[in-house]
Structure 1
């Protein structure tokens, strides 16, 4: 039985290499986008945005946007609601940005910024809402705190973070999915490792306290995800 008592640190996923070529990264981004759609990740994110609520003309940014699947889902929802939004994806990997641009080419309200999330290209109050899906587990504790502070600084209204719940059932489910349903070597390595790097609720509470953040809500979402909504005071 895998030991998930403590969050693992000091071990990188293959996807942490920003120089990965498109031939290796594209199938992974496609698979992750499918998983987000299958397990309701996009719907959960949109429901969270409705809680602010998102307003016409708002500028939303997805940090660690990967293949752009979350932005595509938000844009499709906003179009149905006749809600004009400006959407910006942020990712440090050139291949991820190239893939996302192709996947969302039909939406003229989505643009991308290739940069690291802690860079000076992301500035105070640049966006109305910053979102991040299955991204923050890539950061060790001190870096996670710095990241969330940066997100909050760059958002006028607040942020939405969704990330994995460290649980044995999710760990073994991903091992099975990436062995039989989406048989990809990188995902077979990174998927279970991402669970080891993810969070228990109390860990998130402690990290938020260290960041000096008090105006937030944490809720559990299917499938084995924590959603953290932080409101700008």
Structure 2
């Protein structure tokens, strides 16, 4: 990778505005759900959960989904866990209260789901432990330094492990999502944030460096189509 793809971009996305709300937010969250499903991103998270659960069998699992957005991944994980016969409760955390309100409405038919507005960098974040932490398209929103701090807090909050599902910074991914959002998206936020999020994504080298500095025990960094990284880290 050369030029603009050689290093992570720290340019802010529209979605980083924690007060963002209204019809544009709702349209954007709906489109992101469709894009994630079509490009196969959901299985990156569920296969990571499967790995941790198989390694640590127990009767019940508490799972915190950070940057949960409209709750799409919580529904995916809830449906997946029921099919697999796993007893799971879910905690969705997002710093945008408007997004949490949207998620509460979308997930009101599900039992065993708690949603709350919280900044993961607040001191209160580490107080209540969960078994597993999941992050889907969340970690690319932060600088390397912020991620080191965040991952260190994961070690205190998660009992068993973490699953990170995020973007591979690659020119093919960038130009593909640029074309896809230009022709099929009605949301100016998705059109702007889609390509930019790829530039804020990671190389494998980036992930190794950040995780090494955080002290997290990494057991696997694996590439998935379409241009996704799955990181599984074990706490125990």
TM-score (norm 2): 0.93
Q: Shift of the alpha carbon at 1:214?
A: 3.6
Which 4+ runs in 1 deviate beyond 4 A? none
Aligned residues: 232
Q: Distance in 2 between matches of 1:214 and 1:116?
A: 24
Q: Could you tell me which residue of structure 1 aligns to residue 26 of structure 2? A: 26
Aligned to 1:131: 134
What do the CA deviations read for 1:168-215 (whole angstroms, capped 9, x no partner)?
111011111111112321111111111111110001111111112344
Contact 2:69 2:99 in 1 (8 A): yes
When the two chains are superposed, the root-mean-square deviation of aligned CA atoms in Å is 1.6
Instruction: Determine if contact 1:124/1:155 at 8 Å carries over to the other structure.
Output: no
Q: Secondary structure at the match of 1:122?
A: helix
2:24 touches 2:187 (CA, 8 Å); kept in 1? Answer: no
| Higher normalized helix content (fraction of residues) | 2
| 2:183 aligned partner | 180
| Pairwise CA distance, 1:125 | 6.0
Which of 223, 226, 231 does residue 228 from structure 1 map onto? 231
The reply on whether 1:69 has 2:81 as its aligned counterpart is no
Deviations 1:41-99 (A, max 9, x none): 22221111111116432100000011111100111112223322110000010111011
Note if contact 2:218-2:231 (Cα within 8 Å) is conserved in structure 1.
Answer: no
Higher relative contact order (CA 8 A, sep 6+): 2
TM-score normalized by the length of structure 1: 0.94
Within the alignment, does 1:78 sit opposite 2:81 as a pair? yes
